[in-house]
């Protein structure tokens, strides 16, 4: 069991993970001292919608874990039926330019951090996971999803065009053909449907089952050199990150706003 201290420690230079736990308002991080597995839990009721503050905390949590010798990290939610409802709609409604700029940058940074971690990652999807929620899970290396929820990039249904790296994350996980069908129709998959197309790797009965399956994933790397593993991950994901970095999302958001204004 991980013990809890409710202070967020600054990065620890030596590689100790023993007894590490930190909880801020929106994200809880704990590391099991026996397994070396970290669990990052989003806790922003009612739906874990991704606002600037949650994204900053998430990004910080995954970055901090890079300085510890962990076996892997699980991303999950404290909420009973929601993993994440995606981007906080309020961040998109009449935003002040500085806030909007900071918000979109934090989204892009968080995606890059999670997509590119040196350690293995699993999303234990214990509830609905539309749009930005789905993106967060796609940034992880493996997805285990509890039955009877929904997941997908439903942006087109909302009149939004999913940016390049949303699309690239999907195509990194399922086929180009399935991505095209899913994204153009804004499809939300039920858990079993998502499993059939490979959008999730395993299904689970409940959150505990999902966490247990997530933990098991990490044992695949017991006999694998971690540096070789990370360099291989970079080889596979590096190009997407490079182009993702160049696509400054705030500019796309401005285009989206102009597009919506001209339609009215
Ligand atoms: C360049 C532009 C790129 C943009 C890419 C965009 C990506 C995105 O992520 S856009 C956001 C897309 N999200 C969605 O479409 C999800 C919308 N929400 C839902 O489908 C549902 O709320 C649910 C399945 C997540 C949960 O359903 P349920 O348990 O029935 O809860 P409620 O619908 O009653 O919601 C409770 C409460 O939460 C508010 N809320 C829901 N989603 C969001 C959100 N994304 N942002 C902010 N607030 C959200 C909802 O309005 C309710 O509020 P109250 O009425 O005040 O209780």
How many angstroms separate the Cα of 27 from the Cα of each of 37, 162, 228? 16, 26, 30
pLDDT tens digits for range 49-63: 999 999 999 999 999
The residue-averaged pLDDT of 141-167 equals 95
Ligand 1 centroid from CA 177, angstroms = 28
- pLDDT score of 7 more than 90: no
Over range 36-61, report the average pLDDT: 98
What H or E segment, with its residue span, contains residue 217?
A: helix 207-218
- Secondary structure (DSSP) of 220-255: GGTTS-HHHHHHHHHHHHHHHHHHHHHS-HHHHHHH
Of residues 261 and 60, the one with the higher pLDDT is 60
Angle, CA 136 vertex, CA 210 and CA 103 arms, to 5°: 145
pLDDT greater at residue 264 or residue 89: 89
100 lines ligand 1 (CB under 6 A): no
- Give the residue-averaged pLDDT of 236-262: 70
DSSP class of residue 120 equals -
Structure tokens at 173: 């996980």
Query: Is 87 an annotated catalytic residue?
Result: yes
154 flagged as catalytic: yes
For residue 222, how far is its CA from the centre of ligand 1 (angstroms)? 39
Active site residue 72: no
Which residue's CA is the nearest one to ligand 1's atom 44? 88
| Residue 32 in this model has a pLDDT that exceeds 70 | yes
Sequence-separated (6 or more) residues with CB below 8 Å from residue 16: 68, 69
Q: Which atom of ligand 1 is nearest to the CA of 81?
A: 29
Task: For residues 179 and 155, give the distance between their C-alpha atoms in angstroms, rounded to a whole number.
Answer: 13
Query: Active-site residue among 57, 141, 155, 215?
Result: 155
Summarised one tens digit per residue, pLDDT across range 85-111 is 999 999 988 889 999 999 999 999 999
Q: How many helices (H) and strands (E) does the chain have?
A: 10, 10
């Amino acid at each position: 069991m991980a013990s809890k201290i409710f202070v967020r420690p600054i990065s620890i230079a030596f590689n100790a993970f023993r007894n590490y736990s930190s909880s801020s308002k929106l994200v809880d991080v704990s590391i099991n001292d026996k397994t070396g597995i970290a669990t990052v839990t989003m806790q922003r009721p009612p739906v874990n919608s991704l606002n600037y503050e949650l994204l900053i905390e998430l990004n910080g949590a995954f970055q901090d874990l890079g300085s510890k010798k962990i076996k892997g990290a699980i991303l999950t939610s404290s909420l009973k039926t929601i993993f994440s409802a995606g981007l906080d709609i309020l961040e998109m409604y009449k935003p002040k330019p500085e806030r909007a700029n900071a918000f979109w940058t934090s989204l892009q940074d968080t995606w890059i951090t999670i997509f590119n971690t040196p350690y293995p990652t699993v999303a234990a999807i214990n509830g609905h996971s539309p749009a930005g929620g789905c993106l967060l899970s796609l940034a992880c290396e493996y997805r285990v999803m509890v039955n009877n929820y929904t997941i997908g990039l439903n942006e087109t249904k909302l009149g939004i065009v999913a940016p390049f790296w949303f699309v690239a994350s999907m195509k990194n996980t399922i086929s180009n053909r399935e991505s095209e069908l899913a994204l153009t129709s804004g499809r939300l998959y039920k858990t079993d449907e998502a499993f059939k197309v490979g959008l999730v790797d395993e299904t689970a009965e409940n959150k505990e089952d999902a966490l247990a399956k997530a933990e098991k994933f990490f044992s695949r790397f017991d006999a694998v050199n971690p540096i070789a593993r990370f360099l291989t991950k970079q080889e596979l994901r590096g190009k997407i990150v490079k182009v993702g970095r160049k696509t400054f999302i705030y500019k796309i958001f401005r285009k989206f706003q102009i597009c919506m204004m001209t339609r009215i």
